[in-house]
Amino acid sequence: MASKDLGRNRENNSLAVFDSYILASPEYLKADVLFQYFVLESHARNKACSDSAIIQNSMYSLGFRETPEETARCYQKEAKRWAGFGEKHGFPKGYLNMVGQYIGQGRAAEFVKELACYMLNPGTYGNDDRFIKEMVERL
């Protein structure tokens, strides 16, 4: 359901999620905004999210584009930028290389899907090392 009135007050964040519906201002609701909302909700409930360098660094780097390939390339660029800020913002060893391999092999959609799954349900893999290991095994 879209409501222009919801967006008039910036404190509302232009988005309200309920069990059976979502209220949003029409100009505001986009896939990446909704995805980010759900990741932040998962983060608030799940300690595994705060323990994950991948999830922490990907929360604001994974913006959805027209195609999975474009999404993965933009994500890779942002991830490299975050890694440049130092160890605190770094990714586990081998992660950026693995991302590049998925993109290089034309499997960006598979990578984006699995990253989104990990971000929304960190228990799927348990931790960053297991996520990387399983993704590398699929290459």
Give residue 86's region: left, alpha or beta (phi > 0; psi -120 to 50).
Answer: left
- Residue 64 and residue 96 in contact, taking contact as beta carbons nearer than 8 Å: no
Domain chopping of the chain, boundaries: 5-45, 52-138
For residue 134, the model assigns a pLDDT of 92
- Can you give the pLDDT of all 139 residues of the chain as single tens digits? 555 555 455 545 667 777 787 777 777 667 767 777 777 776 666 777 777 888 877 777 777 777 888 888 888 888 888 777 666 557 787 888 899 999 899 998 899 889 888 988 888 888 888 999 999 998 8
Q: Which residues of 105-132 are buried (b: 16+ CB within 10 A; e: fewer)?
A: eebbeebbebbbebbbebeebebbeebb
CA dist 130 and 20 (Å) reads: 34
For residue 110, the model assigns a pLDDT of 92
At 138, list the tokens. Answer: 């699929």
For residue 13, the model assigns a pLDDT of 61
For residue 14, the model assigns a pLDDT of 66
For residue 93, the model assigns a pLDDT of 79
